[in-house]
Each structure stands twice: as C-alpha cells, then as structure tokens.
Amino acid sequence: MTDSPTIISREDARAAGLKRFFAGKKLCKRGHVSERKVSNGQCIACDQEGARKRHAANPDKQRERNRKARSDDPEKVREQNRKWRANNPDKCREQKIKYRANNPEKVREQNRKWRAANRAMLREYDRQYRKDYPEKAKRWGITYRANNKDKIQKHNRKIYGDGSTERLETMRKLYAEDPAKYRGRVNGYYKANPEKYRAQARQRRLTKLGRLKAFWGMIKKRMGLKQGARQKLLIYDAETFQAHLVSTLPGEMTYAEAVEEGYQHDHIVPISYISKNFPFDIACKMVVDLDNLRFIPATENMQKHSKMGEPYQLKVLGILKERHL
Ligand SMILES: [Zn+2]
C-alpha cells in the first residue's frame, strides 16, 4: 500500500505546474479516495479501473497499442519503464519472480544468449574473481563439481570424448604448434597416471579394433624401435619393414630422419575399417601387410583420421582382399 499523497488543491497544483491534485479524503462517485487530474478533475483510480476493464475485455487491442507505442518512440517507452521500475521496486521484483516461474524455458534461453554474447567479459570476471578470492573460488569449485557430476561428465564427453570434433581440432592445433611439446604432455599425463594408462589400455583391448591396434603397436615397436627383439610373429624382418616405409617417403629421407621429422606409420586402409569388415585373424594379416603401410607427416595423419573411400585406398583394399581372403 502506497502512502497517501500530500493534500494539495486543484488551483495550487495548477499554479505549481503539477498534472495531479489531491483533495484529501473526498470520495469520487465510485467511492475512491484518489488523486485527480488537474486538467479535467477525473479520478485517477477510476481511470485505472477503466483501463483494467478495457484491457480485460480486449487484451489484443491493448497489446497492439503497446506495440505501436514501442515502435513509435522506443526511447520514450524505455524511459517510462525505467521510471516505473525505479518507483515500484517491490512490484518489479514480484513481476520478475512471476515471469521466471511462468517462463522457465524462455528465461534459460535468454540467459544462455546473454552469456554467449558476453563470454569474454564473464571469463575476465571469473579470472579476476579467482585472483581476488582464491580460497573462495577453490571451495566453490569443489562444491560445484561434487553437486554436478553428471553435468560435468556429459560436458567432458562432448569436448574430450571419442569422436568429438572439438577435441580432435584442439589436439590437431596443439600438435601443429609444437609436436614435441604435445607428445611430452601426453606422455607426461600417462606417466603421472600409470593406473589410468593401464585401465585405458585394458579397455581398448576389449574391442576388436583395440586388439588390432594393440597388435599393430607391438609389431611397430619390434620393427621400428627395438631391432633384434623377438620377431617370430612376423612375415618380414626389421630391415624389410623399414625399407618399405622409406620407399614411401619423398626424396632421399632415411628412416631415422623421417621419425625425427615427425613422420608416422599410416595404414592406407584404416585399421578401424579393417576391424569392422573382416574377421580378426584375417584383419591381423591385413594390418601388417606392407602394401597397406606408408609414412606420412603426423599432421596429415591426424587430419586423415580413419576416413575411407579415396581411389588409392580402394585400390589397396582390392590387393589386400585378393591376398588374404
Ligand atoms: Zn474514482
């Protein structure tokens, strides 16, 4: 309930340049104790009641009028709204609460848009906050992570999970910037978390693709890095293996130089394709077949990312099928 306005006669209000006057507890014909208009003596409460009734009877018309007012003079409407909010903070808060309760989807969408448009500012604010209140920020982070495990897991899966393009893009960028640093980071992570490395390796070996990749990893290790190690699994020796890969290099590069330059062993028909389309024992033979192997720069290898269907790949696939099926 607002306080009663100060009593002022119509003449005094007119002299002071006011638009309204208040004659005290004098009732209008409908029984209101209300301010009146200086211009025509009309009761303000009656006016408001009339407006409410007209609005209830024909909300579309009122909405149309509001729309027109906004388009005719948006600044004026904004100013009116500002004034109303400043004069009615309680009503304003109530309205906001009601709006949020009635339009949760809309509010979420608005907030999301606002955050997207102000991401840089929010990030800067976060940074500053963490700097100013490191302890608070840390505590907040612990609480948030404890309360939003599912959300975080979902987010991480989207960003870092298998098949995430965002993750691949990030990895590619980091690798292109500094291959040695990238490799160091990955190796460092696994060195610091050996149990995670073992768990992941175990998980990978549970699938056919994983078994094939593990198999290839072992072959590669024996052929490329540990010469003279047990080779009874193989149909070729380390020299043959390396000579073939060198033959796929440009110019006069040696095997050691290629490794130094960051060249990687590439399967022309990807291991994933082989795994999906052939039984394990045949797939193993295809994976180690020299005609399916070449050296390519690591960045290219990451870009290729097990795509299949290029003419040169189909040609090699034909050779592999004829030889091993
Ligand atoms: Zn009245």
pLDDT tens across 166-188, in order?
A: 777 778 888 888 888 888 888 88
Q: Is residue 201 part of a domain?
A: no
> In sequence order, which ranges of 58-193 are alpha helices (DSSP H)?
59-72, 74-87, 89-102, 104-117, 119-132, 134-147, 149-160, 165-177, 179-192
- What's the chain's average pLDDT? 86
Shared-domain flag, residues 222 and 155: no
Q: Compute, in angstroms, the gap from residue 10 CA to the centroid of ligand 1.
A: 16
Shared-domain flag, residues 314 and 212: yes
Which has more pLDDT, 29 or 170? 29
Q: What is the mean pLDDT of residues 57-75?
A: 89
Range among 74-83, 150-159, 174-183, 250-259 rated most confident? 74-83
Shared-domain flag, residues 216 and 166: no
CA distance 115 to 120: 9
Shared-domain flag, residues 225 and 311: yes
In contact, 292 and 241? CB cutoff 8 Å? no
Q: Compute, in angstroms, the gap from residue 52 CA to the centroid of ligand 1.
A: 13
Q: Compute, in angstroms, the gap from residue 49 CA to the centroid of ligand 1.
A: 8
Start-to-end C-alpha separation, the chain? 89
CA distance 51 to 53: 5
Q: What is the pLDDT of residue 229?
A: 47
Phi–psi pair at 248, nearest 5 degrees = -95, 0
Q: What is the mean pLDDT of residues 146-153?
A: 89
Give, in order, the Cα–Cα distances in Å from 237 to each of 223, 263, 295.
7, 21, 18
Shared-domain flag, residues 261 and 180: no
Shared-domain flag, residues 84 and 14: yes
Q: What is the mean pLDDT of residues 90-95?
A: 91
Q: What is the mean pLDDT of residues 46-73?
A: 89
In contact, 287 and 252? CB cutoff 8 Å? no
Q: Compute, in angstroms, the gap from residue 93 CA to the centroid of ligand 1.
A: 28
Q: Is residue 301 part of a domain?
A: yes
Q: Compute, in angstroms, the gap from residue 26 CA to the centroid of ligand 1.
A: 10
Q: What's the number of domains the chain is made of?
A: 3
Q: Compute, in angstroms, the gap from residue 22 CA to the centroid of ligand 1.
A: 12
Q: What is the pLDDT of residue 1?
A: 42
Q: What is the pLDDT of residue 315?
A: 95
Q: Which residues constitute the domain of residue 79?
A: 10-88
